[in-house]
Amino acid sequence: MPTAEMIPYKLARLSDEESAARAKQLSRNLQQRRTCRDFSADPVPTEVIEAAIRAAGSAPSGANHQPWHFAVVASSEKKRAIREAAEAEERRFYGADGSDPKASEEWLAALADLGTDEDKPFLETAPMLIVVFAQRKGGIAEDGVTQNYYVNESVGIACGMLLATLHEAGLATLTHTPSPMGFLREVCARPEWEKPVMIVVVGHPAPDATVPAHALKKKPYEKISSWL
């Protein structure tokens, strides 16, 4: 017999019409999200960042251990430090340092549709960086010892909720993953049992921002779903 203390769970019951209308409205808006690489320097309200992190922190997680940490970086010095370290990794990735690229030819070919390169000015231009860390160990107490479960899945869902909230708030985002990312632990003063997962760059798009046309090539609904 499970012995867990249980508490009531209630949701306001919507009519099917209201339910569908709300799902479609949010769905339509989320489908407008793009990965933005051209940011303006305009500031963003800290309240929005806080609300998005609170939403992310409510994500489901293995054993409810909430194995995540969100480090908000807004200072010019820290942003510059992150840009410099990230660009050093990216130069090796793309072979822009004169050596053989770390990325395979196949990988570089796949990126051609995005038009990315080793220059990451957005890491300094954008007003906020949210560096997401996954806690391999620690439990709710963050003791660094207790085993965590389904860490990648949990943090992935939390990141999705973070991005959805920021987009709903009218902000542009970029999920950026320089590889390797170990330097982020040092810049953000995080413990060794935490693994940097991604930098979520947040801001307003620059007035002349563009996105690759490739971004609009979404797999059709019929292909991404099957009803059995």
Closest approach of ligand IYR to the CB of residue 104, in Å: 11
CB closer to ligand IYR out of 26 and 112? 112
Q: Is 96 one of the binding residues for ligand IYR (CB under 6 A)?
A: no
Judged by CB under 6 A, the residue of 114, 121, 140, 147 near ligand IYR is: 114
Name residues contacting ligand IYR, limited to 116-135 (CB under 6 A): 116
Judged by CB under 6 A, the residue of 67, 90, 172, 184 near ligand IYR is: 90
Binding piece for ligand IYR, criterion CB under 6 A, among 39-47, 109-117, 158-166, 183-191: 109-117
Which residues does 124 contact at the CB level (< 8 Å), separation at least 6? Answer: 76, 79, 80, 83
Binding piece for ligand IYR, criterion CB under 6 A, among 54-62, 63-71, 177-185, 220-228: 177-185
* Total residues interacting with ligand IYR, rule: CB under 6 A: 9
Closest approach of ligand IYR to the CB of residue 114, in Å: 6
Q: Is 122 exposed, middle or buried (0-12, 13-18, 19+ CB in 10 A)?
A: buried
- Sign of the C-alpha dihedral computed for residues 29, 158, 22 and 43 taken in this order: negative
Q: CA 43, 179, 134 angle in degrees (round to 5)?
A: 70
Instruction: Please give the full DSSP string across 195-223, using - where no structure is assigned.
Output: EEEEEEEEEPBPTT----GGGG-PPPHHH
CB closer to ligand IYR out of 38 and 90? 90
Judged by CB under 6 A, the residue of 67, 178, 203, 205 near ligand IYR is: 178
β partners of residue 196:
133
Q: Is 109 one of the binding residues for ligand IYR (CB under 6 A)?
A: no
Judged by CB under 6 A, the residue of 63, 111, 211, 215 near ligand IYR is: 111
Please state, in angstroms and rounded to a whole number, the distance separating the CA atoms of residues 168 and 171: 7
Helix (H) or strand (E) holding 69: strand 68-73
Alpha-helix runs per DSSP H in 60-137: 76-94, 105-111, 122-125
Binding residues for ligand IYR, rule: CB under 6 A, are 90, 93, 111, 114, 116, 176-179
